[in-house]
Homo-oligomer: A and B are copies of this chain.
Amino acid sequence: MDRVAIIGASMTQFGQRDAWIRELLAEAGQAALADADVSPDEIEHLYVSNMASGEFEGQTGVPNALAHDLAAMPAYTARIDQTSSSGGAGVYAAWQSVASGASDMTMLVGGEKMTHRSTAEATDVIASLTHPVEYKHGVTLPSFAGLTARLYLDTYDAPRESLGKVAVKNHKNGVDNPHAQFRKEVDLDTVLDSPVVADPLRLYDFCPITDGSAALVFCPESVAREYTDDYAVISGIGGATDTHVVHERADPTTMGGVVNSSDIAYEMADLEPDDVEVAELHDMFTILEFLQSEDLGFFEKGEGWKAVDEGVTDRDGDLPINTSGGLKSKGHPLGASGVAQVYEIYKQLIGDAGERQVDADVGLACNVGGFGNCVTTTIMESR
């Protein structure tokens, strides 16, 4: 089968933006069209990854608005929402649109506009994805993260400092990402001395609230060759859910959605975890980078913290993780995050990652919705 290729990509400045969701989506969409050297009337399917434009700013129907703003009519459009993994779900939708033969040129634009709402309001919109019983007890995703971090540290005898080192590493990477929300290093003491949010996690263990957008252009590999030599292919992709109620999980330090979605992706790509040379993981909270790096098979269960401790996941380590700066320093505009992960892997694979460039022909992006409630894993290879 003709593989699905990515021939162009863009992301906007992430951070606090003086622009509404429509403007953010159009900005990334126009830039990706230019990057791919594709004109709007070539786009057959146009997907928007977005969780909550209606809740955040009272604007629905954004895919149609984007088709208008990009002059992409009569391209088919739809919005894909899978909460914090809407971006990964959008990548899967775009992949399916091309792999099914429905579209020979698909654009995905993911975005979210959040910073005009208070952190409490934004956190509440996000928490509305939890099980109603959890929600009524006041559970939010940060509180889940605190509980899980405590359990992980206790179970695997990991030092608190190891969590902080995830933040230090990803902030360091973010310095070289011109689109990142935070481009400043933080030292371990700063992380460890920051205000407690959900014990043992502190402010610098959390990603920020962010506005931003990112876009990708997909087509069959046979079509990609007509456009460019600089493309990458999606060789494996899969998605899976875990229990919607977090306390129903036999072991909350294992994310079943990561295990199952990556199993599907590895099998499709005919690759093993050891084959992956660069990865973007969903470090909404520092603890999540440990869990995913283990559940993806990169490290044994309970050993992910050692890899960070020993520098294995540094940019110059054996398996660089979150060269983009991750959600931690790059920012986490919900619908954009999974798209921006694939943007980073794409840039790494075509050798266009600038100061962040590593040597890799196989990359992986893992996008987590809820607290692992739904996960999409995408494996990409250079052509």
Chain A residues in contact with chain B, CB under 8 A? 1, 22, 45, 51-52, 54-55, 58-61, 63-65, 67-68, 72-83, 89, 92-93, 95-97, 99-102, 125, 128-132, 237-245, 256-257, 260-261, 369-370, 373-374, 376
Given contacts A54-B128, A68-B131, 5 further A-B contacts (CB under 8 A): A51-B60, A58-B128, A64-B369, A76-B376, A100-B100
A100: B residues at CB distance < 8 A: 95-97, 99-100
Interface SS, A side: mixed
**Closest partner residue, chain B, to A4 (CB atom):** B100
A-B contact pairs, 18 of them (CB 8 A): A54-B128, A55-B60, A58-B128, A60-B81, A63-B374, A64-B129, A65-B131, A68-B131, A73-B241, A75-B241, A76-B92, A76-B238, A77-B82, A78-B89, A78-B239, A78-B374, A95-B100, A102-B237
From B74, B95, B241, A241 is in contact (CB under 8 Å) with B74
Q: Establish whether residues A68 and B245, one from each chain, have CB atoms under 8 Å apart when the complex forms.
A: yes
From B58, B99, B243, A102 is in contact (CB under 8 Å) with B99
A76: B residues at CB distance < 8 A: 92, 238-241, 261, 374, 376
**Closest partner residue, chain B, to A45 (CB atom):** B239
A89: B residues at CB distance < 8 A: 78
Q: Establish whether residues A241 and B51, one from each chain, have CB atoms under 8 Å apart when the complex forms.
A: no
A93: B residues at CB distance < 8 A: 78, 93, 96
A68: B residues at CB distance < 8 A: 131, 243-245
A131: B residues at CB distance < 8 A: 65, 68
Q: Establish whether residues B81 and A79, one from each chain, have CB atoms under 8 Å apart when the complex forms.
A: yes
A97–B95 Cα distance when bound, in Å, is: 10
Q: Establish whether residues B65 and A244, one from each chain, have CB atoms under 8 Å apart when the complex forms.
A: yes
From B60, B75, B245, A129 is in contact (CB under 8 Å) with B60
A370: B residues at CB distance < 8 A: 61, 64
A58: B residues at CB distance < 8 A: 128
A68–B81 Cα distance when bound, in Å, is: 17
A125–B60 Cα distance when bound, in Å, is: 8
A55: B residues at CB distance < 8 A: 54-55, 60
A78: B residues at CB distance < 8 A: 80-82, 89, 92-93, 239, 374
A261: B residues at CB distance < 8 A: 76
A95–B376 Cα distance when bound, in Å, is: 19
A376–B102 Cα distance when bound, in Å, is: 13
| Residue of A64, A72, A242, A245 contacting most chain B CB atoms (<10 Å) | A64
A89–B238 Cα distance when bound, in Å, is: 21
A100–B75 Cα distance when bound, in Å, is: 20
A101–B2 Cα distance when bound, in Å, is: 13
A64: B residues at CB distance < 8 A: 83, 129, 241, 244, 369-370, 373-374
A102: B residues at CB distance < 8 A: 92, 95-96, 99, 237
A61: B residues at CB distance < 8 A: 83, 128-130, 244, 369-370, 373
Q: Establish whether residues B241 and A67, one from each chain, have CB atoms under 8 Å apart when the complex forms.
A: yes
A241: B residues at CB distance < 8 A: 64, 67, 72-77
